[in-house]
Each structure stands twice: as structure tokens, then as C-alpha cells.
Structure 1
Amino acid sequence: MPLIPAYAGGVVTTDAGAAVKRVPLGLALVAGAVLVVVATLVGIALSGAATPTLLGDPGAFVRWGLPVVDALVETACAVTVGALVLAAVVLPRSATATDPSRVRRAGAAGRAWPLAQKTAAWASVVWTVALVVQLLLTYARVSGTPLGGEQFGAELGVFLTQIELGQAMAWGLLLTALASLLAVAASGYTSALAAAIVALAALAPVAQTGHAAGAANHTLAVGSLWLHLAGVTVWIGGLAVLAVVAGRLGKDLVPSAERYSAIAIWAYALVAVSGVVNASIRLGSLENLGTPYGVLLILKVVAVVALGAAGYLHRRRTIPSLTSGRTTAFWRLVGVEILIAGATMGIASALSNTAPPVPDVPLEGVSPAEAITGSPVPGEPTLLGWITGFSPDVLVLTGVVSAAVVVLGWYLRLRRRGDHWPLGRVVSIMVGLLLIAWTSSGGAAVYGHILFSAHMVQHMVLVMLAPIFLVLGAPVTLAVRALPSRPDGTRGPRELLLGLVHSKVAGFFSHPVVAAVNVAGSMVVFYYTPLFGLSLSNHLVHLWMIVHFTLAGYLFVNVLVGIDPGPKRPSYPLRLVLLFATMAFHAFFGLSLTMGTSLLAAPWFGALGLPWGVDALVDQQYGGAFAWGFGEVPSLALAIALGLAWLRDDERTAKRQDRAADRDGGADLEAYNAMLSRMSRTGDRAPD
């Protein structure tokens, strides 16, 4: 008798076909969708966000329709992302996949994967169309003009091309359309993952336009809002799609539920942390909890806590019970979660259309530096300020903290399993992560946005110092040893990591010469092109800078002294040549900045007017001197490490040769002497 019942047609049955209990998941999905609309309308009515305005009223259709369309956009987005994530890393494909024998041996059914892909395709199309309607209604709302006016089309063009809100919405629409095309064309794990990444990227323009992305604390607000949106879509969308494909899971139910649960934990953590940050920015103080915005926020918090409690019950009770064939409690709880999730998304839609207590207005009456950077100007740099300064970049900080938690989890897993892993390597990784956190959110970040010299400190730490500690910690080797492999052909973290490490792209960028050129050449391309100025004014480019230079430094150091799998490392003499060439280039680059008389990113640094009197060109020259001097310190440490590694390698080679001579009585040496003797008798010249 089969142990795991299958869900089919709203009835949980065993494989023999006997009905066990009716679980109306379809009804729960419909009710959840209805709750999204109802909660949106009720929330709008309570907050008064749809009240007619005295001047420039776009009409009742726009005032009430926009929140509903917002809810539709959020729901379609969540279903799209959730379905793609399930198709990429949770659900196995059928036995006709690339490795059919592996799938069959694991006993995977694979019938749910095609339905998840079709769900993603249809939801992405709905998402794209709904975004078009949202764009039209949004313009009507902000311009105060009803739909279809005489100048509506021409003014809409100006809105999309010249107004920041319209430009962000246009970019979001383009990325969503691209994600839709990829979702429709997805035919395997890799293509589904690519579509999911693009869909999540499409949330970035949305984060630029949300309530939390106001003029004050703009960088913190945008980053936390994107994390919030990403967490919600993966978590709630994945839950809804899991219910959609329930009838086809069969034998895949237990592993799929466990994998989704692990993803949901991380998504819930993102939602909780980013929600607190967003609320603190827009709420201002606890006194504002009594405002309409505050009331809706409280309702949303209650709903999110309820969903977290349901997830906890899944982890502790219902998922373990699936292995014994008891699925009723699991699906009943899923149905309840869908209802709560629908209400939550409706409340969130109403919240996004309600004016927050802290108004979203441009900064006025501030210094030029604060107007340009969007943040208060710190005090004059001091050693204490460099150590204790804090300007959080929530995206990087979340990544660093998550990486630290994961690495510690891997280490503890190996210990529980009885495997040895040096503690020093874990400490080395933690130091590298701490340096990245300080560079992006500590004192270096506080001053790096207003002083070129501080920006250069950020750059050199990211590309030259932090990678050394990360490489010496061997994170890839630790991950491969700690992460379990999946027997059913799906792509888990281990499979994704190994696929990335052994990909052609990684092979190209980890080639010794390419890695060295990338480290050196990227500095020239970055600082002597508009990219530098964009990284100061555009946070996405700034994030790219952090990721790029950290990875470039990691790949270069890994070529020199790494132990992780990946590149084919050259001989030690060639490694030293590459290192010394890079050292020479850093010295030349730093010298060019020190001797330069042209200010880089002049519209930014030249217009700040810092209150403690900074000559921007002199500060740039200080930055060049730092790049010249500091760059040699880690390079010298690497040279010493390479020399020691070379000596140890020679010693190991000599010991191997001695052991071989002991085993065969020095046969190689005797053969070499015999060859020399023959050559001397014939008059031939001995080899060098």
C-alpha cells in the first residue's frame, strides 16, 4: 500500500484511488483572490485614500480602480515569481528530462513541473497587461486628469520620458515584458531560473517608486523595499502555486514541501526585517500608529505574524506527517495560509495607496551636499568616525549577514556529522564578510559618498583585502562538503554552485590572465568613464561596483593562493609574474591620480561644498596616494604566501621522490645514471 496519498481534483486519494478527505484548495485559491480585492477596497475606504480631491480629481474610476489594479499587479507578480522559483529549484521534471534514469531511480513523478511553468507563463502575461493599465491609472492619478482627455496621450509620453516616476514605471514594464517572454519560453531548470532572476529584477523600478522610497534615506528605503517585495513574491507566490500544482505532485509532495519550506523561511525573514525598516522610515514615530496608515500597518503586521505561525506549524507538524501519508492537515493549513495571504496582499495594496505620516517630499532648506547625496552630512572625518560610523546599505548588509549565517550552518553541520573543518577557515571567511560590511555600511560608506579618498578606501578593501580572507576560508569547498546533493535531478544549492563554478563563463573569468587583467583594467574603466559618476548617483550601479570588484578580487586571489575548485592554476613562477605585474599597475594607477590635475566626477565632488573645507582635487590626490601605498601591502602578503607555498610544494615533491626511491631502490636515479653512461661512451652531449 502506498505511503503518500496524491491530491487530485480537490480530493486527497491514495494511489489505489480511495477517497480520504475533500480539501477544497481550488475554493481557497478563489477565495484568496477575492480577499485581495475586498481587503484592498475596505482598506481604501477606511483610510480615505479614494476621497475626491478638490483640485485635479481624476474621477471615481481612477481613485477606486488604481488600488484594485495595484493588487492585481502584486498578485500576478507573486504568482509569476513563485511559479518560476518552484520550477527552477523545487519541482522535479518528468522522466523525459536530460537524465531520465536519475529521475526514475529517485521515483519522482515530475507531473507538476509543466503546470508550474504554464502558471508562470499565464501569470506573467497578466502581470504585464495589468502593469500597462496601472501605468495609465497612475498617470491619471498624479496628473489629476481623467482617462481619455484630449492631451492625455501626449502628456503621458512626457510622463514616461521626462518624469522620474514615469521613467521608473516604463523600465519596470520593459523588464516585466522580458520576464514574461522568458517565462513563456522556459523549458528547463536553467531557463526557469533565468526568468525568475529577470522577474525579481523587474521589482527594482517598483522599489524606486514606493512610499518608503522617499527623499529622505532614499538608499536605505529603496533597498529595503526591494527586499520586502522579493520576499513577499517568493513566499506567498510559491505557496499559491504549490496549491495550484497540488493535484500533480504525487510522490514529489514530500521533497517539494520540504524545499519550499526552507525557501519560505528565508523569504519570511526578508519580509520581517525589511518591513520593520520600511515602517520606521514612513511611520516616523509610534504616535503615528493611530493614523489611517498606522492602522493598516498594524493589520498587515498581524496578518504577517499569522502567516509566520502557519509556516512554523508546517515545519514542526504537517511536513513531518507527510512521510506517513497524512496529508489532510498539510493541505488544510495551506488553504488557511492562502486566505490569510490574500487578505495580506489586499491590505498591502491599500497601504501603498495611503499617504504615510512622513510625507514623501523633496528635501528643502538643506546644504548642497545633503541635497545631492540625499543624506545628512557627517561630521569631519576622525578615527572614531571611521570605526563607529554607520550608514547601512540594507541589500549588502542582508547579503553579508545571510552569508555568515549560512557559513556557520555549514560548519556546524559538518561537526554534527563528525567531519573535520578547520575553524580558522571559518574565522577567515567571517573577517572577509566583516570587511565587506564595513566597506558598504560602516565608516568607509559614511565618507565614501562625499570624499574621493574614502571611496578609494572602499575600492581597495573590496578588491585587494577582503578577497584574501574569503579565498583562504575556501567557502566553495566548505559548501560542497556540507550541502546535500539531490537525487531527483533538481537543482539545489549544491548543484547550482557546482554548475556555476564549472560553467564556461566562470572558466573564462577565472583564467589567470583574464583575472589579472580584470582586476587591473576594471579600475581604469571604472574611474575614467561615466561609470564612476553613476555609481555615486545611482544605487544600482553602486551595488554593481561592490559585487564586481569583490568578485574580481576573489577570482584573482583564488588563482594565486586559493584551494577552492575552479581555475587551472599556473606554475608558481607565473603566479608571481602575474602578481608583480598587478602590483606595478596599481602603483602606476595610484601615481596617475596623485599627479593628476583633473577632478574625476567633478559635477558630484566639485559641487558638494562640505562644511569642513575640503579641496576636492587635493582629496583625490590623497586617494591616489592611498591606492599606491595600500595596494602594495596585501600584494606583498600574497607574494610572501606564494613563496612559502612554492617552498612547501618543492618539499612535498622531494618527499614523494624520496618515498618512491625507497620503494623501488632508486630505480629512476639508476636509469638516469645508466643513460649518462651510454651517452658518454657514444660521445653524445648529455641533456642539460
Structure 2
Amino acid sequence: MTAPADPRTRAAVLGGGVLALVALVAGLAFSGAAAASAVLDPGALVRWGVPVVQVVADSATAVTLGALALCALVLTPPGRAPTPAHARATPDGAPAPAWRAASRVAVVAAVVWTLALLGRLVLTYARTAGVPLDDPGFGAGFAQFVTEIPLGRSLALATALTAGVAVVSVAVTSMTGAGIAAVLAAIALVPTALTGHAAGSESHELAVSALWVHVVAVSVWAGGLVVLCLVAPRLRDDLPPAATRFSRLVGWCFALVGVSGVVSGAVRLGNLADLATPYGLLLVAKAVLYLLLGLAGWAHRRATLPRVAGDAWRSGPFWRLAAGEVLLMGAVMGVAVALASTQPPTPAQAPAVHSPAHEITGYAVPPVPSPLTWLTQWRPDLLFAVAAVAAVVVYLRWVVRLRRRGDAWPWPRTLSWVLGAVVFAWVTSGGPAVYGQLLFSAHMLAHMLLAMVVPIFFVLGAPLTLAFRALPRRPDGSRGPREWLLTLVHSRVAQFFANPLVAALNFAGSMIVFYYSPLFELALSTHLGHVLMVVHFTLAGYLFANVLIGVDPGPTRPPYPMRLLLLFATMAFHAFFGVAVTQATTLFAADHFAGLGLPWRVDALADQEVGGAIAWGVGEFPTVVLAIAVALSWARHEERTARRDDRRADRDDDAELAAYNARLAELAGRDGG
């Protein structure tokens, strides 16, 4: 038995959509972004159609991601054990169909998202080319736009990826499927981030990362709230726990939206005086609405949720605050699209190029590298900086949770994890990141630290063991962080890559594939390639170190002699790679390094030899550390085995030894006879 949609839900969602359009029209009228162009004006339909279609696309994006996030993290899927409240709410004892309803909403929203992006692609071409939709040459120009122009290719790719999300969403029948679809939806937003404001400025990598984080977090927050309201009548008395879980998720989204919003604003505004421009005023309006949403969410969690009991889905306080949040979300979305359609005061184009290195990398050449500049030069990467901070915060919260209930956690493990996060942040945002695009040796140093030093710190921190002890279980069949970690650890994909032989082959072999293929130059020339490189080599190093010295559940670890053999064999291959790089007579990524023209008069080939020496030499220290750690673990294992055997001997009066001596006596008697 399913409950019909509550009238208040329809009113709130419809009101949010209307308010988004009103805010959009007001913002465009204020900034003049939709005003007619003096040259090559495509017409009012195109000028107003682009932002209107963008509002539809953004709304559908939010609902898609929000629905998939609810299915993956909040709601209980069909076939799982119902709560007592569910058993009372449905006479046949079956779970209420809130999960199915949310998954169907995701499908519809993904289709609308795809159609809206298709419309945006057509209208964007018309606006960019300055031609009306009924122009005779529209078709030929549009074909050239989507095949040859970077903006057109990015928008076409975004449309194709979103269509893939719609197809995958149709097949979602489980929480795992919902999680996969949600990840694909987040990936589909990458082309959009690459074409946003400031994507071509000197801070383009920071701007792209900030925009992507911003859009994903806002979408999960806004879309999840809308979908939660839509399925609330089907949740009935299970609404309070679902709303509480979603509130925790919103807390993380609120923090990410705030950080990414500040970074995006700083990139696009030259100084505080730019806040008085139309773009700056719209940005201020969006920030005010964001703070109001944060206050509403805080009130929701502190005051409303504890009062939502009994016939929860009819609770007046819940609906009043939820409807208010939906309306505010609509206003925020309208202002956001108007903001995106308005030219920021800081030009999106890169500043005047003063050197070949500036032209190739997009950044001004830093000072001559020295021990001091390696520590003082920073180029923050929002994705990895947020990941490092979140890793420390979450880990420390788990440790505090254990200690509050009286459980101990070794402080050396905590220190190791924090040091790993600090080194990771420095490598991805500090000196190695700044000089890594200019010097092969600096890049190789960063690579070695990511693949061989940071993973050791992380593995010694035993994060999975801590998580399984600190995170609460979900008794109703839904998946929280603990359940998702268990699912990932025991998945076939994770088991395959955690296999000792596969981990070793991936750790050593991927270096050959990376440096002796176009992947290396792709990682140097594109932000997405760089992000994938960092993620891959950090994970590869973690999986390999976890096989050797880890205590977390997951891989079936080989005996200790085999571990040492695997370590030395892999490191020998690694040393061979370093020697090969040192003796190479041609440049890796020659088009990149040979054309930099650095003012420090760097011999690129000589610097590459230094990089090879780093690959060879820097790997020796982590190898020794790993070997010592394996040896110590082996010794502790033998000591524990000996103590266990001694205790067993004490219990059974050394029955095993007595049986062995009796067998020897029997054999001796046979020989004597």
C-alpha cells in the first residue's frame, strides 16, 4: 500500500521552482546578462532560453544526485528487514516503498537533466555564434561547434555522460547500484566544471575543483531535501531516523558548499571593491541565502527533529521548516544561474603571458627552487586539501568516540595517520605541486612520496580497523558509512586489486605504463589527468603497503617470507626503472619540458637524470622501512604463536610433545625389532 504525495510537498516543490525562476529573472535583469547584444544578437529566445534551461538542468541535477544519495545512504531498500514502525504501517509487514519511489524519481530527473543539457547545448551554440535558431546555416555551424570547438565538445560530452546516468538509473535495484549511479552522476558534472567562469584564468585548476565540489554538494543537499519531502508519506514513522541521517549528510554538504563558495568567489573577484559590481552583489545575495539555509538546517536538527514523533510524516513543524528550506533552495538556484550568466569583474582569460613556461602551465614561474621555497611555495588543490583535512577530522572523531566509551586506540597509529595526511597535503598543494610541472626531478620526488611514503603512514594508521570499531551499525538494512566500507572491502573489485600479486604488479607495472605512454604528458597538461594520477599512485602504494604491513581486514596476506620476497622483487624492478630513466637519452614528455624555457637555465635532460636517481634512491629508504616493519611483524607473530603454544601445553600437559615422543619411541621400537 503506497501513500499519495502530500499536497504540502507539491506546493513546496512548485513554489521552489517558481521562486528559482523569479530569482533568475530578477538577477538577470539586475546584472544585464540577458540584454540584447549590439553585434550578432541571437534573439530574446536564445538570450533568455540559455539561463532558463540551465535552471531546469541544475534542478534536475540536484534531484538526480539527491535521490541517488538517499537510496545509497539514507533509505531502506525493499527486501530488507522492516522496522517495527514499518511493520505496523503496512498490514502485510512489507517495507513501505519509499526507496522505490526515490529511485523512480532519480530516473525521471536524469531524463529531464539529459534533455535540458541537450537544449543548453543547442542554445549555447546559438548564443556563442550570435545566430538565431532559424538561421539557414545553423545545422552546419552546430555540427562544427560540437566537433571542433572545446566548449561545444565539453557540453556534448556532459550531455552524453548524463544520458549514460539516465540509462544506469533505470537499472538501479539495490543500494550498490544507487551508489554507482551517484558516482557516475558526479563524474558527469566534470565537463560542466571545466567550462565554468575562471576555467581559463591563472587559478583555473582551483576554480575547476571548487566549482565541481560546489555543484556536487549543493545537488546532494537540495535534491536530497526535495526527494525526502516527496517520499515522506511513504516513510511514515520511519521519517525521523531518515531525516536525522539526511541531516548529518547535509552537515558535510554545508561545509563543502561554504569552503568551495569562498574559494570560487576569491578566484573570480579581484578585490573586495568588486563586491560592489553586479556580479559581486549577486554573490553576496547567494551567500546570504546560503547562511539562511544553514540556520534553517540547524533549527531543523536541533528543534524540529526531536519533536517529530508518532504520526511523523504529518508533523507540522517538520513540513514548515522543510518547505521553507525548499523555497530558499529554489531562490539560491535561481541566483546561482544568474551569477553564472554574469561576467565576473576579474576577466576569465589568463593574464598576459610573460614566458613559455607561463603559456604551457598557466602559472607564473616561481622562484628558483631552494629548501626554503619548497616549504613556502603553495598552490592549493581544493580536492586534495579537503580530502586531507576531512581525513584528519574524521579519524580524530573516531578516536574520540572510542575513548568516550572507554576503549583505547594506540596514539602512534593516530600520529601516523595525521603525518600521512600532512605529507599528502604538502605534496599535492605545496612545493612538489608547484615545481612538479616545471622539473622532472620535482615531479618524480612528488611521485615517490605519494606512492611510497604517504601510503606507509596511512597503512600504519589502520583506518579500517578504527572505522569498524567506532562507526555504529544500522539495524534496519540501510547502509551507513560502516556498511559501505564493509561492502567495498569485501567487493570482488577490491579483493582483486588487494591480491598480493596484483597489488605488486600494479605498484611496479603502472609506473612503466604511465611514464612510457602519453599518460604522463596528459597528467602534466590537464587537471583531470593530474587528479587521476595522484589518486591512482596513492591507492596503488596503499594496497601494496597494506599487503606487507597492514592489519586492516581485506587481503589474504602471504606468509612473512613471501612478503619479504615480494617486497625485494618489486623494489628491484623499481630500481631498474630508476636506472632506465637515469640512462635515457631522450626526454619524457619532451613537448612539455623542452619548451618551458625556464629562467633558471635548467638542462632538462640533466634534470631528468636527477629524477631517475630520485626514483632509484628515494625508493631505498621506504624499502628499508617496509623490510624492518615486515621483520618486526614476523617476530611478533612468532612470539604470539609461541605464547599460544605454551598456554595450550599448560592446559593439556604438553599432549602434543608427549604424542610426538611416543611416535618416535614407536618408530625406534620397530627399527630395533
TM-score, reference length from structure 1: 0.94
* 1:632 counterpart = 2:620: yes
Q: CA–CA distance in 1 between the matches of 2:219 and 2:105?
A: 14
Q: CA–CA distance in 1 between the matches of 2:535 and 2:85?
A: 36
Counterparts of 1:602-621 in structure 2, within 5 Å, are 602-621=590-609
Q: Tell me the CA shift for residue 242 of structure 1.
A: 1.1
What amino acid is aligned across from residue 565 of structure 2 in structure 1?
V
What amino acid is aligned across from residue 500 of structure 1 in structure 2?
L
Query: Aligned match of 1:215 in 198, 201, 213?
Result: 201
* 1:251 counterpart = 2:251: no
* 1:585 counterpart = 2:573: yes
* 1:645 counterpart = 2:644: no
Q: Tell me the CA shift for residue 491 of structure 1.
A: 1.2
Q: CA–CA distance in 2 between the matches of 1:131 and 1:677?
A: 85
Q: Tell me the CA shift for residue 105 of structure 1.
A: 7.9
Counterparts of 1:32-71 in structure 2, within 5 Å, are 32-71=16-55
The match for 1:17 is none
Q: CA–CA distance in 2 between the matches of 1:300 and 1:334?
A: 19
The match for 2:153 is 167
Counterparts of 1:89-100 in structure 2, within 5 Å, are 89-94=73-78, 97=79
Q: Tell me the CA shift for residue 25 of structure 1.
A: 2.8
Q: CA–CA distance in 2 between the matches of 1:110 and 1:386?
A: 58
The match for 2:301 is 315
Q: CA–CA distance in 1 between the matches of 2:9 and 2:651?
A: 71
Q: Report if the CA contact (8 A) 1:91-1:252 is conserved.
A: no
What amino acid is aligned across from residue 160 of structure 1 in structure 2?
V
Q: Report if the CA contact (8 A) 2:82-2:95 is conserved.
A: no
Q: Tell me the CA shift for residue 291 of structure 1.
A: 1.1
Q: Report if the CA contact (8 A) 1:76-1:127 is conserved.
A: yes
The match for 2:419 is 431
Where does structure 2 lack aligned partners over 5 or more consecutive residues? none
What per-residue deviation string (whole Å, max 9, x for no partner) do you get for residues 49-105 of structure 1? 1111111111111111111111111111111111111111111123xx166799978
Q: CA–CA distance in 2 between the matches of 1:560 and 1:102?
A: 46
What amino acid is aligned across from residue 358 of structure 2 in structure 1?
E
Q: Tell me the CA shift for residue 683 of structure 1.
A: 3.1
Q: Report if the CA contact (8 A) 2:53-2:119 is conserved.
A: yes
* 1:662 counterpart = 2:668: no
What per-residue deviation string (whole Å, max 9, x for no partner) do you get for residues 107-131 of structure 1? 8843211111111111111110111
Q: CA–CA distance in 1 between the matches of 2:23 and 2:642?
A: 76
What amino acid is aligned across from residue 479 of structure 2 in structure 1?
R
Query: Aligned match of 2:212 in 226, 240, 245?
Result: 226
The match for 1:272 is 258
Query: Aligned match of 1:10 in 6, 9, 14?
Result: 6
Q: Tell me the CA shift for residue 415 of structure 1.
A: 1.1
* 1:134 counterpart = 2:130: no
Q: CA–CA distance in 2 between the matches of 1:274 and 1:615?
A: 39
The match for 2:377 is 389
1:145 alignment partner, SS class: coil
Counterparts of 1:429-508 in structure 2, within 5 Å, are 429-508=417-496
What per-residue deviation string (whole Å, max 9, x for no partner) do you get for residues 584-642 of structure 1? 11111111111111100001111111111111111111011011111010111111121
1:245 alignment partner, SS class: helix
What amino acid is aligned across from residue 197 of structure 1 in structure 2?
V
Q: Tell me the CA shift for residue 424 of structure 1.
A: 1.7
Q: Report if the CA contact (8 A) 1:36-1:344 is conserved.
A: yes
Q: Tell me the CA shift for residue 41 of structure 1.
A: 1.0
Q: CA–CA distance in 2 between the matches of 1:134 and 1:158?
A: 16
* 1:188 counterpart = 2:174: yes
* 1:556 counterpart = 2:544: yes
What per-residue deviation string (whole Å, max 9, x for no partner) do you get for residues 511-534 of structure 1? 111111111101101111111010
Query: Aligned match of 1:75 in 59, 67, 70?
Result: 59
Q: CA–CA distance in 1 between the matches of 2:286 and 2:410?
A: 45
What amino acid is aligned across from residue 6 of structure 2 in structure 1?
G
Q: Report if the CA contact (8 A) 2:154-2:192 is conserved.
A: yes
After superposition, the Cα gap between the structure-2 partners of 1:45 and 1:104, relative to the gap in structure 1 and judged at 3 Å, is closer
Where does structure 1 lack aligned partners over 5 or more consecutive residues? 1-5, 12-23
What per-residue deviation string (whole Å, max 9, x for no partner) do you get for residues 253-308 of structure 1? 01110111011111111111111111111111111111111111111111111101
The match for 2:268 is 282
* 1:27 counterpart = 2:11: yes
After superposition, the Cα gap between the structure-2 partners of 1:567 and 1:106, relative to the gap in structure 1 and judged at 3 Å, is farther
Q: CA–CA distance in 2 between the matches of 1:218 and 1:497?
A: 34
Farther off after superposition, 326-335 or 546-555: 326-335
Aligned residues: 666
* 1:373 counterpart = 2:357: no
What amino acid is aligned across from residue 413 of structure 1 in structure 2?
R
Q: Tell me the CA shift for residue 106 of structure 1.
A: 11
The match for 1:110 is 96
* 1:566 counterpart = 2:562: no
Q: Report if the CA contact (8 A) 2:19-2:330 is conserved.
A: yes
Q: Report if the CA contact (8 A) 1:92-1:110 is conserved.
A: no
The match for 2:524 is 536
1:349 alignment partner, SS class: helix
Farther off after superposition, 318-327 or 605-614: 318-327
* 1:675 counterpart = 2:663: yes
Q: Tell me the CA shift for residue 579 of structure 1.
A: 0.6
Q: Tell me the CA shift for residue 212 of structure 1.
A: 3.3
Q: CA–CA distance in 2 between the matches of 1:296 and 1:676?
A: 91
Q: Report if the CA contact (8 A) 2:439-2:607 is conserved.
A: yes
Farther off after superposition, 222-231 or 641-650: 641-650
* 1:85 counterpart = 2:69: yes
Q: CA–CA distance in 1 between the matches of 2:331 and 2:117?
A: 21
